Structure 1
Amino acid sequence: MNETIERGFEEMVEWRRYLHRNPELSYQEKETSAFVAGKLESFGIEVRRNVGGYGLIGTVKGSLPGRTVALRADMDALPIAEESGAEYASLREGVMHACGHDGHTAALLGAARYFAEKRERLRGEVRLLFQASEEVCPGGAMPLIENGALEGVDAVYGVHLWTPMPAGTAASVAGPMMASTDEFFIDIAGRGGHGGMPHETVDSIVAASALVMQLQTVVSRSVDPLKPAVVSIGTINGGFAQNVVAEKTRITGTVRTFDEDTRLLIRGRIEDMSLRIAESYGASASVEYLVGYPALVNDASETERFFRVAPAALPGFRIETAKPLMPAEDFAYYLREKPGCFMLVGAGNSEKGFVHPHHHPRFDFDESAMKAAASLLIAMAESVFEEEI
């Protein structure tokens, strides 16, 4: 574990707990951004504020020539009422850091201070990306990229504190690691009427129900069984009284895949199936399909770097090959532009009660994992700086 990070851990915890008490939703991270920018400037780091919203780009240029590495953390919280009972619980009703972004930000601040203090001996440049709005599409990654965040960058790295893994572990995997995420909204229009005279109506609920059942066959009968995919219906809403045939019903859901061909196939099947099944019941359908984040695909050579670097950076840790995950991450956009690696650091601890999943109102994590996250980011960057230009 990095000695500088060990010495600064108590302050890292203070930063994290301040952010946890004062969470801000996606696209609203004004105070969070100002807090982080202030810390970076106190370290003597040059900062571009309000990049593509409330994003920040900090730059540490070493005295010696070398490569450029980008390190990224996300800053936004979720619309969840906290029930953790922690003394540092959210002070903002209905808003909570329930995914560990406060820890990501604190860990990258720790890494930022390390590189700022090492500037005179640093070979290369560190680009610090404090990103807003990861939780809500279209997300904050693309605005940073469009504003030059990756210009001249040789590699990009990010870490997610992950409570399903115990503290003392770290993992990554080459290739697809996190799924793409799309959303669909299907409106079925029939002809309403009296519930006692259904023969004079076109029942949108019956048509929608048939469609929900048929959508379950998209993955099982249209997708290559060797290619993971998910189609989940989240809501079905129609009608307003027990004796009225509903004229309109809405279905909403999500699609998760790991490759673009499967992604396009599923979209086409959902759109075609919706129109045809609605028509077969005498109804009509309209489909709104929102394309979200692409699949997160780690660069093979940079993932090899992780497995080479992590054991020395995290002595005593169990270093594992991660299983691909269906949750999505807009870090995927960075990896479309530059070689890099997204890594998981275990942050669960059953003995301390850190057992709740991400996005849960009682979510919390073992703060010692922040030391590992910061140390890993530093080690990955320094490994790049050691290479010949």
Structure 2
Amino acid sequence: MKRLTLTLLCFVSSLLSAQGLNSKKELIVYSSTSINKKSVHQSVQQETDRIFDKLVTIRREFHENPELAGHEKQTQEKIKQYLLDLGLEVKTDIYGYSVVGILKGDQKGKKIAWRSDMDALPNDYPDPETFKSKIKGIQHGCGHDIHMAVGLGIAEVLSKNKKSLKGTVYFIFQPEEETFKGAKEMLDKGLLSIINPDEIYGLHVTAMPVGQIMVKPNEMFAYQKRIGVQLKNGLSEEETKGLTKKISEFLSRIQPGTKPWELQSIVDPKIGLTNPDTIFKDYLFTDGKFTTYSKNNESFLETYLYETNSSNLDKIIPGVQKIIEDSGYKDKLLSVSFIQGNPTVINDEKLTTSAKKILQNLYGKNTVAADYGQVPFFNDDFSYFQQKIPGVYFFLGGSNFKKGVIAMNHSSDFQVDEESIRTGVKNFSSLLIERLNRN
């Protein structure tokens, strides 16, 4: 072994001489760092494999006992106890049923947060799992049970590697994501006066293939807005139909022959998110229907729209106003406005580039897939954290097409390949270690 090591050092020395690493001391430090780094991530993989079955079990417990937004009491208790058993400092008094676990490394350094959402959905879709929900009308139909298992797994792996951590990791288990309320409330109730992360990371399981991670800088989703039109003196059924058709046509910009509202296409290699020519970029469309109603002799027209380009948003209201005026309703028009619109997830460019490079260097180029589009319909209140803290939001593949497992969120027969837990814990534990150990 000694001879092999010396031979290797001599070989590396010759390769690095052009880079200025000529001294024996510099070379030994460089080689020692590389060896230690490899050892740390081998430990991450081994620990992930060791706890995998335990994480599957707790995920299934979450799945069988789902709780709606604002009611995550049992979920909070389970997470709290898990983190306490790991030796983390735990806070549960910030907002609602939130949990924050604090893991301090053995060395000083920067502070990083990992966020997992907790709540389930109000639905009663067919569930192909044997460990179905025990609560009628409530399901983990969006994958938050997977997210919590991944978050707990990362906490356990990192707690076993405290000596390798230069800094602090905050594990934020956030309630009320489905109502787009929890993140903002945690911030409003003083989260950042208790913890002060330099960076924040999170994920969402998607219909991409299991084992795959996807990320891109800037917007991950389309901008989602609900536009409302108010007209006095009311409109007839025929007038309403004609006007909403004109507005819908104005609010439509798609590539010829494409249907970016068909979410099943996001995994299609020819037109999906991984193709530079994806149909999921540069589009504008409505959800295909208007809500129309009358009140106090006034007509109201409302619909959701999805726009990929933020610079186009300011043109929508004036454009709709012009459509209405040109249709002969100028004297009836009372208002056109966005009556609902949440911030969208926007990934920090520098952190995204760094994260992608780290994961590909550690676990192979195919670990992280390129994302060339923006997903419509969905969004995540992780965006509120990103308004305060530079952060990155990943997609984690959960489908296994050979097994018939399709992780299409909010749909019937939603199912996730639990190997995605292993993928998430291993990759993101390593990512956080690497990010902590960089200045």
TM-score (norm 2): 0.75
Q: Does 1:216 align with 2:248?
A: yes
Q: Does 1:140 align with 2:195?
A: no
Question: Which residue pairs with 2:286 in the alignment?
Answer: 231
Question: Which residue pairs with 2:211 in the alignment?
Answer: 168
- The total of aligned residue pairs comes to 364
Q: What percent identity do the matched residue pairs reach?
A: 23
* Bigger mean CA offset, 22-31 vs 258-267: 258-267
Is residue 324–residue 330 contact of structure 2 (8 Å, CA) maintained in 1? no
Residues 359-388 of structure 1, C-alpha deviation per residue, up to 9 Å, x if partnerless?
012101111011111222212211112213
Alpha-carbon shift at residue 250 of structure 1 (Å): 4.8
* Bigger mean CA offset, 146-155 vs 9-18: 146-155
The 2-side partners of 1:337 and 1:292 are apart by 19
Task: Show the 5 A alignment for 1:366-385.
Answer: 366-385=417-436
Larger radius of gyration: 2
Match of 2:403 among 336, 352, 355: 352
The 1-side partners of 2:76 and 2:291 are apart by 38
Is residue 285–residue 307 contact of structure 2 (8 Å, CA) maintained in 1? yes
The 1-side partners of 2:317 and 2:113 are apart by 34
- After superposition, the CA RMSD in angstroms is 2.8
Residues 22-46 of structure 1, C-alpha deviation per residue, up to 9 Å, x if partnerless?
1122222222222212221222211
Question: Which residue pairs with 2:202 in the alignment?
Answer: 158
Q: Specify the code of the residue in structure 2 equivalent to 1:261.
A: S
Is residue 251–residue 305 contact of structure 2 (8 Å, CA) maintained in 1? no
Q: Does 1:306 align with 2:355?
A: yes
The 2-side partners of 1:278 and 1:57 are apart by 55
Give the SS at the match of 2:342: coil
Match of 1:206 among 235, 238, 254: 238
* Bigger mean CA offset, 251-260 vs 121-130: 251-260
Task: Show the 5 A alignment for 1:57-206.
Answer: 57-137=100-180, 139-146=181-188, 147-149=190-192, 151-163=195-207, 165-186=208-229, 190=233, 203=236, 205-206=237-238
Is residue 114–residue 151 contact of structure 2 (8 Å, CA) maintained in 1? yes
Unaligned runs of 5+ in 1: 192-201, 240-245
Q: Specify the code of the residue in structure 1 equivalent to 2:399.
A: G
Question: Which residue pairs with 2:26 in the alignment?
Answer: none
Q: Higher strand share goes to which structure?
A: 1
Unaligned runs of 5+ in 2: 1-43, 254-280
Q: Does 1:330 align with 2:381?
A: yes
Question: Which residue pairs with 1:320 in the alignment?
Answer: 369
Question: Which residue pairs with 2:414 in the alignment?
Answer: 363
The 1-side partners of 2:354 and 2:185 are apart by 28
Give the SS at the match of 1:178: coil
Give the SS at the match of 2:241: helix
Q: Higher helix share goes to which structure?
A: 2
* Bigger mean CA offset, 283-292 vs 209-218: 283-292
Match of 1:294 among 333, 338, 343: 343
Q: Specify the code of the residue in structure 2 equivalent to 1:206.
A: E
Q: Specify the code of the residue in structure 2 equivalent to 1:299.
A: D
TM-score (norm 1): 0.83
The 2-side partners of 1:258 and 1:95 are apart by 32
Is residue 275–residue 286 contact of structure 1 (8 Å, CA) maintained in 2? no
Alpha-carbon shift at residue 251 of structure 1 (Å): 3.5
Alpha-carbon shift at residue 218 of structure 1 (Å): 3.2
